[in-house]
Structure 1
Amino acid sequence: MRRLLWLTAAALLVAGCSSSPGHEAAAKPPPDPRPLGGALDFTAAEYAALHRAEEREVGTCMRRQGFGYDAVPVGDVRRRAATSPYGLLRRDLAAQDGYGLTVQRLRKPPADPNARRVSALSERGRTAWEAALKGTADGPRTELTLPDGPTVSIPDDSCVAVARRALYGASWDRDQYALQSVRNSIVTATLDHALVRAAERKWARCMRESGFPYLDFADPFKAVEKRLDAAGSDRAALRATGEEELRVAVRDAACQGEAGLAEQVVRAQRQVEQKLPAARTSALDDFRAARRAALGRAEAAPGGSA
């Protein structure tokens, strides 16, 4: 996953900053709290299996309409699965690529496996191919009104939508959007909980004692983003930013541990979820059943297990 310059920067920083292997192996990993019992989260292997299954369904739909289609490769599911909704850091990942920001900036966009196929079509053919994949502007659509107000419009005649219905079931998108809204509200309320705010103050003291005068958990992340924006395409500046990102993230992860942040998030999240009205999580049982069924279909298909 690493690219050129980042390989060198990461290797140098990990060698200089990470703890000894024996110490890390002996340390008990902190908890990894996820709202709603992790119903909306998947392991890297599950993300990969679901992606491949969805791409197979898209290909089947496209071929039925007379078009060729090459599956899009699985992306960085390891980082996606490990990313905490609360910004909690795993020390091993922090030592490898910090917050993942410089790595993402340096990573080349993945090649579109269908680009050559589509470019060889006539203008009318390209329009028809895109319409089959993504749906038509004047075609049938499903309108989903989310609990917090916005409306999501999904084209029913797209092969992407057909694939998702085949894999996940007809109610998946509606339930997922609704539960994602609940999940977001849980995260917001948990981070604003007195227990987490107290841990944040301890974390800030720890960071300040290490020379990082941050007040908010998001401050280091924002600082790296700002520095990346200033670096632009300057490779030397990007390298320096990558080194600094690793240094900050490693200390950030250590201070989170010293402040007992993950443990306080667990306690606060439990209290927040206990106060949720039942109506807000009414779709949870159906969603979990659909999730189990989708994973079963994905893992039973050829090449489904990772």
Structure 2
Amino acid sequence: MSRLLWLAAAALLVAGCSTASGHEAAAESQPDPRPLGGALHFTAAESAALHHAEEQEVQTCMKSRGFDYTVVPVGDVQREAAASPYGLLTEGQAAQDGYGLTVQRLKKVTTDPNSRRMSTLSEGDRRAWEEALKGAPDGPREEIELQDGPTVSVPTDACVSVARRTLYGASWERNYYTAQSLSNSIVRDTLEHPLVNAAEQKWAACMRGEGFPYEVRNAPLKAVNRRLDAAQSDAAAVRAAGKEELRIAVRDAACQAEAGLAEQITRAQKQVEKALPQARTSMLKNFRAARQAALKRAEAQDFESRR
């Protein structure tokens, strides 16, 4: 399962600019396969709009319970939207962002705007505030049993849950976790498909030809992380690690393109999804409808806030 570990570290974060090879134009047009027709994928604009709308609903819910709440700003939705569930890179992304590891180390931790308010509350008031937001340990919960996965326990009286029901509808939590579990299984099975295994062998041969003796796709990230760990807080060493990350990532992306990895993942994913039992995908229609309805609500809310 080493390839799956690769995915967790493949978020794209700006790490400076470098030069890309002549293969960039072809690489940038490569497929971007996503499970379930991209049902779980949101553009940066969609993610930002939904986050803002959900935070507004949380604020309304907290106010109704007698608590102040400051809307939390949106995160780095641009790179979240760009990240591939299969860890695919284009040369342009790699030249600009690398794997995102160096910048992740240097990135300042975003402070929750509610932290200062929380620090002024008594222990009892702070507990009450947190339980209103996230739900009490002994409060009502919905148990969502996932096929071939864990049971997810969702607090139904938390303002976070109330906000999601208001924005997405009553069945959203169950459908979302079910779709996410199904998507994860598709990614896993696709990465283990013979077509992908053959392409990854070609990728490894390409990387060896460039002087990088990596056998699996998470190996470059492990190498960069080890170098960053050794650098610690030495600014010059961190910069050197960042430059090396960009150099490796650009060659990685070029070898992915040379091996036709994105194309083979696309083919393999289609075969994996074709073999899925119809019962496991029947909820997607409701999920997509809820998604579209939520986007319309978020758009309407944004329009009203601008008036």
Alignment correspondent of 2:293? 293
Over the residues paired in the alignment, what is the CA RMSD in angstroms? 2.0
Number of aligned residue pairs: 293
**Aligned-pair CA distance for 1:120:** 2.0
**What letter is aligned with 1:64?**
S
Alignment correspondent of 1:10? 16
**Aligned-pair CA distance for 1:91:** 2.1
Please tell me whether the aligned partners of residues 199 and 260 of structure 2 are also in contact (alpha carbons under 8 angstroms): yes
Please tell me whether the aligned partners of residues 18 and 250 of structure 1 are also in contact (alpha carbons under 8 angstroms): yes
Counterparts of 2:100 and 2:237 in 1: how far apart (Å)? Answer: 16
Counterparts of 1:192 and 1:47 in 2: how far apart (Å)? Answer: 30
Alignment correspondent of 1:161? 161
The residue matched to 1:212 in structure 2 has which SS?
A: coil
Alignment correspondent of 1:190? 190
The residue matched to 1:143 in structure 2 has which SS?
A: strand
Change (3 A) 1:25 1:190: closer
Counterparts of 1:165 and 1:276 in 2: how far apart (Å)? Answer: 29
Counterparts of 2:28 and 2:88 in 1: how far apart (Å)? Answer: 15
**Aligned-pair CA distance for 1:145:** 1.3
> Could you list the runs of 4 or more consecutive aligned residues of structure 1 that deviate by over 4 angstroms after TM superposition?
23-28
Please tell me whether the aligned partners of residues 199 and 261 of structure 2 are also in contact (alpha carbons under 8 angstroms): yes
Change (3 A) 1:303 1:221: farther
2:221 equivalent to 1:240: no
- For residues 214-233 of structure 1, the C-alpha deviation after alignment (integer angstroms, 9 at most, x for no partner) is 11122212222233333333
Alignment correspondent of 1:266? 266
Please tell me whether the aligned partners of residues 298 and 304 of structure 1 are also in contact (alpha carbons under 8 angstroms): no
Counterparts of 2:123 and 2:197 in 1: how far apart (Å)? Answer: 57
TM-score (norm 1): 0.90
2:141 equivalent to 1:144: no
The residue matched to 2:224 in structure 1 has which SS?
A: helix
Please tell me whether the aligned partners of residues 27 and 90 of structure 2 are also in contact (alpha carbons under 8 angstroms): no
Provide structure 2 residue ranges, at least 5 long, that are not aligned to the other structure.
1-12
Counterparts of 2:219 and 2:102 in 1: how far apart (Å)? Answer: 16
**Aligned-pair CA distance for 1:28:** 5.4
Counterparts of 1:28 and 1:167 in 2: how far apart (Å)? Answer: 35
- For residues 79-115 of structure 1, the C-alpha deviation after alignment (integer angstroms, 9 at most, x for no partner) is 1111111110122221112111111111011021111
Alignment correspondent of 2:176? 176
The residue matched to 2:302 in structure 1 has which SS?
A: coil
**What letter is aligned with 1:10?**
G
2:123 equivalent to 1:117: no
Change (3 A) 1:237 1:197: same
Percent sequence identity over aligned pairs: 67
TM-score (norm 2): 0.90
Change (3 A) 1:304 1:42: farther
Counterparts of 1:182 and 1:53 in 2: how far apart (Å)? Answer: 27
2:245 equivalent to 1:251: no
